Structure 1
């Protein structure tokens, strides 16, 4: 299938991943997002991940804040000069342009959207719509359905947008056809989790029989439980995931706590 073509193979039955998201970089390293230097936070996250003996990193979207070509180049350069030595995969956020993400997919950064293990599969889903809200095209969902039919019995999925309401400001930019995606995953009887970004904080919810998890941002976080836009500087965060034929477990790491 077009989006999931060219799978990346791991010759092992379980892997250790880091999920990072929402870096909101600028054209240079001095750019600030609500007074937070996002490049510094991203560098700190890369340095921490380099100590974790990871098999892969999944970047969950919203690489850029100023939508500049240079912000994508900065992301690639910070990865290149870091001590992180595992492959980095990405999926697009509402701020991102696919063409720019493809341009930096060289060397350590990969554009594969299907990661294959021995007995397990990982799918990186495209939830980028025409507005800041998310939308999964019908053809994309059909492709995912076809991939699930022939996948292993253990499946882990990632998206950028949240498919389940968080009862907060970002619900105005939710994945608008989230139930369609979630039902596709749950009906397969294979998906163990959907993990997403976008909401800039740590959330856990359940849709039917499947757990849905949100990973906080490497940039800034948004306060929970408010209809107003309220941000806070809690430092960068990431999610460490162990996944494979023996199941799934994860932990959110706050670098300043």
Structure 2
């Protein structure tokens, strides 16, 4: 099956989307990443998403820190307990294994976690891309890029694109693990003339940039954040966070970061 063959259709003309990413869970709920309680922080994010009455939640990769199947089951448990009222869709991060996603979520209700990587709505399409490579850095394969270009070009509507790795440098330590063919990826998207927004995780903080007419947004992690513009790998506990994306019935998009330190 090709990556974008699994499709989810949403009938809302206006959409509220939660983009949350990089929770770095462990097999045990008590697991801590840079002394942050990852399980509690993800629970806080999911509770806030539930309060926002979203139409869709997109998980941007890196479920796991210890690479255990049990960490994916922890994620599923937390999502089920949160009663979001909307489906969660996902894409893989550099820490993740596709086989573990499939094992953990294969029996989940599609109303809770849905496997779709292409989403249709009345006014916009959404593509969830695979940038995972054999290293912590990202790579979008030629076959995946060709399939993405094809599905975008077949539709008259614009497409929101999500991936895990950052396609442009952030002038920080994580640039050693960026999307290594990010320029080709963005060039492919720009050439379709149907992509105006790209969202990613991986960098554990909020950033914005642009490639020609494409706005690029990084969403902070649900757990620890990485200090901006630092050549060294430095961490800071700014609290859990995620991004809200609102698309109105005229396809106009606005977005904001939700920082939950004081929630």
Give the TM interval when normalised to the shorter protein: over 0.9
Q: CA deviation at 1:14?
A: 2.5
**Structure 2: gaps (5+ residues):** none
Find the aligned partners of 1:80 and 1:20 in 2 and give their Cα distance.
16
1:133 maps to which of 131, 137, 144: 137
What is the CA distance between 1:6 and its match in structure 2? 2.4
Mapped contact 1:154–1:247 kept (Cα < 8 A)? no
Report runs of 4+ in structure 1 exceeding 4 Å deviation.
none
Residues 33-182 of structure 1: matches in 2 within 5 Å? 33-105=33-105, 106-107=108-109, 108-182=112-186
Give, in whole Å, the separation in 2 of the partners of 1:243 and 1:214. 18
Structure-1 separation of matches of 2:81 and 2:123: 34
| Partner residue in 2 for 1:192 | 196
Residue in structure 2 matching 1:221, options 221, 225, 230: 225
Q: TM-score, normalised by structure 1?
A: 0.97
- Residue in structure 1 matched with residue 237 of structure 2 by the alignment: 233
Q: Can you list the C-alpha shifts for 1:145-193, whole angstroms capped at 9, x where unaligned?
A: 1101112332100000000000000000000000111111111111120
User: Per-residue CA shift, 1:21-74, capped at 9, x if unaligned?
Assistant: 000000011000011010000001111111001001000000000001100000
Q: Shift of the alpha carbon at 1:139?
A: 0.1
**Which residue of 2 is the match for residue 208 of structure 1?**
212
Q: Structure 2 length normalisation: TM-score?
A: 0.95
- Residues 153 and 194, structure 2, Cα contact 8 Å, conserved in 1: no
Alignment: residue pair count: 257
Structure 1 residue ranges without an equivalent (≥5): none
| Matched residue, 1:253 | 258
